[in-house]
Structure 1
Amino acid sequence: MNTKNKICLTHFDYDRLKLLISNHTKRNKVETNVKDLLGEIERAQKVDSRIIPPNYVTMNSVIEVKNLEELEFQEFRLVFPEDANTQENKISVLAPIGTAILGYKIGDVIQWKFPGGQNQFQITNIKYQPEANGDYHL
């Protein structure tokens, strides 16, 4: 986990993610990825949806990341678990990479522990951020 960079979340995303975590922990044993997500959202600066800068990753953003070890680019939409679909490049916020990028901004280099070991990648672009497009309900 990388806790050096400042991260920023909307109040709307924070509230929905807290509910997700609460519901998840009531139904299941608390898993590492849920604990990681809780840690990240609790340390985040919370801001109004109308003022979050467009270069920050929010829920339902379409993000491009570069794996710095393999120099590969990947594009996906960050979604809630019920909307996840790898064939449509929709990655859950509970997936390691989903938790890792939430609240970071373009240019940030993130180190995160994945099942296969430590990984380092950079957010290279946000092709769509709901708030920047006036889509405050997503």
Structure 2
Amino acid sequence: MNQFPMTAHGAALLREELEQLKTVKRPAIIEAIAEAREHGDLKENAEYHAAREEQGFCEGRIQEIEGKLSNAQIIDVTKIPNHGKVIFGSTVTILNTETDAEVTYRIVGDDEADIKKNQISVNSPIARGLIAKSVDDVAVIKTPGGEVEFEILEVQYV
């Protein structure tokens, strides 16, 4: 069984969602199904069918989250000594040596990746090019537009 890296924060968010689904959403759906049943004929009862469909989505998401959490290798970078090396979970500030554009990314698991929050997947080309490099190293990243050089300015374990 393969384990997938996940930040402690990402695991906490999944546990929160799971709790919400089990304690709030699941009971609400069960109530909606019971209420819809009272309306009589189930064949042409749109509320009943919608509630059953929502129940299917909810139960599927619960199983998906439980599966992810059971296969997660949770890594809490705040508990790892920072030697300036880029690792999974670290926050990295890099400088594009050509454009002088500075950007900060956090390297996270696939499920946590969100470019709008500057969280990139450990499997992304940028993250793969940065992993194991250290502050002041230059990483050459292959992009669709060609190779780009980034200097690593800062590595944080936050």
What band does the TM-score fall into relative to the shorter chain?
0.5 to 0.7
Q: Deviations over 1:63-108 (max 9, x none)?
A: 1000001001001101111110011110111111111101110000
Map 1:118-129 → 2, pairs under 5 A: 118-126=147-155, 128-129=156-157
Provide the C-alpha distance between the structure 2 equivalents of 1:84 and 1:111, rounded to a whole number of angstroms.
21
Identity of aligned residues (%): 27
Q: TM-score, normalised by structure 1?
A: 0.54
Provide the C-alpha distance between the structure 1 equivalents of 2:142 and 2:153, rounded to a whole number of angstroms.
20
Q: Which has the higher helix share?
A: 2
5+ residue gaps in structure 2? 6-78
2:82–2:157 Cα contact (<8 Å) kept: no
- Higher RCO structure, 1 or 2 (CA under 8 Å, sep 6+): 1
Q: Which residue of 2 aligns with 1:100?
A: 129
5+ residue gaps in structure 1? 1-14, 18-49, 131-138
Task: Name the SS of the counterpart of 2:147 in structure 1.
Answer: strand
Q: TM-score, normalised by structure 2?
A: 0.48
Return the letter of the residue paired with 1:64: T
Q: Which structure has the greater CA radius of gyration?
A: 2
User: Which aligned segments of 4 or more residues in structure 1 are displaced greater than 4 angstroms?
Assistant: 50-53
